[in-house]
Amino acid sequence: MPAAARFRSDRILVKPKEKVSLPEMAELHSRFGSQALRTFSGIGNLQVLKLPPQANLRAIIAAYQRSGRVAYAEPDYTVNVLLEPNDFNYGNGDLWNLKNLGQYDGVPGADIHATEGWDIQNTASNVIVAVIDTGVRYTHEDLAPNMWVNPGETGLDELGRDKATNGVDDDGDGYIDDVHGINTLLNNGDPNDDYGHGSHVAGIIGAAGNNSVGVVGVCWRVQLMACEFIDSQGNGSISDAITCIDYARSKGARIINASWGSYSFTSAALQDAVNSVRDEGILFVAACGNNDNDNDAFSLYPASYRYDNVVAVAATDRTDTKAFFSNFGANTVQLGAPGSPIFSCWNGSDRDYRYFDGTSMAAPQVAGACALVWAHYPGLTPHQVIRRVLSGVDPLPGLAGKCVSGGRLNLANALGPRPLPEGTPITFWVDDALPAGAVPGVDGGDSWSGEPWNWVTNNPAPYSGAAAHQSDLVSGIHRHYFEKATNALEVFTGDTLFAYIYLDPNNPPREVMLEWNDGCYEHRAFWGENVIAWGTYGTSNRRDMGDLPPAGQWVRLEVPASLLGLEGARLNGMSFMLVDGRATWDCAGREASAPPPDITPPTVTITAPANNATVSGSLVTVTANASDDVDVVGVQFKLDGADLEAEVTTVPYR
């Protein structure tokens, strides 16, 4: 069970209502004897307030809430790092999480397949990853090459001094000489780690690769921004965490790693901060906790925030099972990554390394993977980056039903191409039966005699196969659906998703909606009236496809996968919804776009004998090179129009 909430006794967090000005808030602070320490304009003017000595915290919070000027007032809660100390004394640099050959009783391949992934992409030099933690030992031999450098605090100032050491806030952000980040505990620009946790996390993300020292991170090259808010005891306050989040946002971070959290509170301020970076397109990767708890039942924040930019990570061990301590959550934890034990940088010296366990160690592997995906596919949205990572996991029995994806991070799959499958361009996913592993369900009255789906063979006759599935005649919103299919539908670039429908001509619905689930989010398209207010209209989670199809006949509903952001997705669920009326549904699946016609002829060159050469003897070897923009199936050698021998299908052609 979660412990009682802990919070600072000298601070609170207050957010004004939308139309309340800062001068009006200042008048309120003066009345209550509080002082505004920080104001976050990017988070609705959220303020951190210092209370007067001996103040009654709960009484002041209640007074702010009664004032009518604030959206909320809450304590400044504290969080802790999600680290499990480990005393193993292994040899130098045994990074099983990156390449597991079975060492130390592990299972070969129980790793993130880093070496295969690095053949595709091993650097993310243009991606800033903010390590919001205990700071980072930025002079460490394996971290110094990859530390982010604040462009506003480098170079020479107008007096010819080095901005990094001139003792001046050159970029006007409120911090002096914040070259590599900030320290919110001391309110200065020196985020040097005095605990070790943040350095360990930073090393997992991006310890310098191919430099002949120490270890290597998931990213050989990356920009590590250090934001210190957790003290030497492993504890930090929400207000300082929010300051770090806001700093990372303002300095261009693409990814935030949060290897910390707490069960004991629900903070509207922290939620607003995470949502603010979501609006900026920043990924928020969070450790899911170390208590072997179900986060679906007991939320741990920030990992449990249900935003589409939040990735919660569980820990796995050397045998590809869930680490005994790791939290889980079928709906609130996205995937697993190695976390028991992990060897990485430490803060004792510039050459210090240690083993530690924890979901704190799992999250940064996912953060590093996301950075590499973004570097390899710079045009992707945050949601598309997450989808590539989740759709490429290695399924594990120990994570089935324990996280959304049911698998452990596979870097090579996340980075690798998604080639079109061979064979027919049409794939039927639902036709006479549900896909393997699918769990059916109903809402709003779409059920028949206890059976979740009503399969019919007539009235109307099925469009395809022997049976179709029919909605009941119900008023309001009703649907039948399935989820958790193990036979997932792979969607590729250029695909069109489809489903066949027959509207009852005597009882036509007002709206028809199809929904596809990729294991993380719902993607919807509708026809007819805009009644089902699920998702955001005009986006991939509620796309308007126009009028209802005609009733009394089979019609194919089509949606380009690109409109729903589903190119490259791996679908495991689908929903068939109506508002009023009745419909019958038949086969559903995907259709690949037809490849362009091959109109460019191949190029063939005889390389031996040379052109115009004179040859003699009973046996002459002729060799050729051949190339084509699509493929070379084989080369046929002819003499005076007659085939010399069978077609040659292997290189060299001779």
User: Could you give the residue numbers annotated as active site?
Assistant: 133, 197, 360
Which pair of structure tokens corresponds to residue 486? Answer: 């193990």
**What is the phi/psi pair of residue 572, to 5°?**
-130, 10
The dihedral formed by the CA atoms of 7, 186, 304 and 325, expressed in degrees to the nearest 10: -90
- Rg over alpha carbons for the chain, rounded to the nearest Å, is 30
Contact 589, 427 (CB under 8 A): yes
For residues 68 and 23, give the distance between their C-alpha atoms in angstroms, rounded to a whole number.
15
Contact 366, 410 (CB under 8 A): no
For residues 540 and 252, give the distance between their C-alpha atoms in angstroms, rounded to a whole number.
26
For residues 576 and 554, give the distance between their C-alpha atoms in angstroms, rounded to a whole number.
15
What pairs with residue 316 in β-bridges?
322, 338
Q: Which residues contact 330 (CB under 8 A, 6 or more apart)?
A: 296, 401, 402, 403, 404
Q: Which of the 8 DSSP states describes residue 34?
A: -
Contact 534, 524 (CB under 8 A): yes
Residue showing tokens 């009783």: 105
Q: Which of the 8 DSSP states describes residue 94?
A: -
For residues 492 and 318, give the distance between their C-alpha atoms in angstroms, rounded to a whole number.
33
Q: List, in sequence order, every beta strand (DSSP E) within 151-249.
A: 181-183, 221-228, 235-237
What pairs with residue 482 in β-bridges?
440, 574
End-to-end Cα spacing for the chain = 74
* Burial class for 307, CB neighbours closer than 10 Å (0-12, 13-18, 19+): middle
3-class secondary-structure state, position 63: helix
Sign of CA dihedral 366, 372, 378, 384: negative
What pairs with residue 223 in β-bridges?
128
For residues 461 and 584, give the distance between their C-alpha atoms in angstroms, rounded to a whole number.
10
Show the CA angle centred on residue 237, arms to residues 232 and 243, nearest 5°: 105
| CA distance readout (Å), 33 to 15, 55, 370, 381 | 17, 9, 45, 45
Contact 402, 330 (CB under 8 A): yes
3-class secondary-structure state, position 117: helix
Residue showing tokens 């061979």: 422
Q: CB neighbours (10 Å) of residue 522? A: 16
* Burial class for 536, CB neighbours closer than 10 Å (0-12, 13-18, 19+): exposed
Q: Which residues contact 641 (CB under 8 A, 6 or more apart)?
A: none
Q: Which of the 8 DSSP states describes residue 557?
A: E
For residues 634 and 628, give the distance between their C-alpha atoms in angstroms, rounded to a whole number.
11
